[in-house]
């Protein structure tokens, strides 16, 4: 007996821009440079050991509420090899934590400044063999957030549509409301 959800239909990673290219585009936008100079430069300076290609990147020029769902194509930078499945699982654990709790913030990101986020628990279930150095679709959704906590579910899909890993995380999210500047 076996069944699984169907992998979402999304463009393949070869058709999408990676995070570095998107950040470079944002840095060239004079309006964004004025609004978010420190944040954009901080993001651009980070070295992340995984490649990320957002499926529907959020337009930073539009302050909008977003649904608490996001998808990325992800893979480790470099070759890991076929023999060490434990290493692939470790990389999947790193990938699964990347931007995971941030999914719970998407409907609120322009209303609050985040003081800190910390995981209370993080569980993973491994269903099928996978290669963390091959592209996998990471589907994240937050069914609930409130009371300074957020719950997020995630699924890592192999490119052939096989569900490889399921994840769940609950975390504490401490925020402060954004103070708008007076126009008077």
> pLDDT tens digits for the chain (184 residues)?
999 999 999 999 999 988 888 877 777 777 766 666 666 666 666 778 999 999 988 765 555 678 999 999 999 999 998 888 999 999 999 999 988 888 998 888 767 778 888 999 999 999 999 999 999 999 999 999 999 999 999 999 999 999 999 999 999 999 887 666 655 5
* Residue 4 maps to a domain: no
Can 18 be counted among the known catalytic residues? no
Number of domains in the chain: 1
- The residue segments making up the domain with residue 114 are 13-177
Residue 180: per-residue pLDDT: 62
pLDDT of 112 = 73
Q: Is residue 135 part of a domain?
A: yes
Query: Is 169 considered catalytic here?
Result: yes
Q: Is residue 50 a part of any domain in this protein?
A: yes
**Is 182 part of any domain?**
no
Task: Identify whether 58 is part of a domain.
Answer: yes
Q: What is the CATH number of the domain that holds 113?
A: 3.10.129.10
Q: Is 66 part of any domain?
A: yes
- Look up the pTM and report it: 0.84
In the residue annotation, 159 being an active-site residue is answered as no
Q: Which of 70, 96, 142, 169 is catalytic?
A: 169
Instruction: Identify the active-site residue in 61, 119, 148, 178.
Output: 119
- Asked if residue 8 is part of any domain, the answer here is no
CB 50 within 8 A of CB 92: no
* pLDDT of 66: 83
6 in a domain, yes or no?
Answer: no
């Amino acid at each position: 007996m076996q069944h699984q959800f169907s992998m979402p239909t999304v463009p393949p990673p070869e058709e999408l821009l990676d995070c570095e290219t998107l950040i470079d585009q944002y840095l060239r936008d004079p309006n964004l440079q004025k609004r978010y100079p420190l944040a954009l430069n901080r993001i651009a300076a980070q070295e992340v050991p995984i490649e990320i290609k957002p499926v529907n990147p959020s337009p930073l020029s539009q302050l909008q509420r977003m649904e608490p769902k996001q998808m990325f194509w992800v893979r480790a930078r470099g070759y890991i090899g076929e023999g060490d499945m434990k290493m692939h699982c470790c990389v999947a654990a790193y990938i699964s934590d990347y931007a995971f709790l941030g999914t719970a913030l998407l409907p609120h990101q322009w209303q609050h400044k985040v003081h800190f986020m910390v995981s209370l628990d993080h569980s993973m279930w491994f269903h099928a063999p996978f290669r963390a150095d091959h592209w996998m679709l990471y589907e994240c959704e937050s069914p609930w957030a409130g009371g300074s906590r957020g719950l997020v579910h995630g699924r890592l899909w192999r490119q052939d549509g096989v569900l490889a890993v399921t994840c769940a995380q609950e975390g504490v999210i401490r925020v402060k409301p954004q103070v708008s500047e007076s126009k008077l």
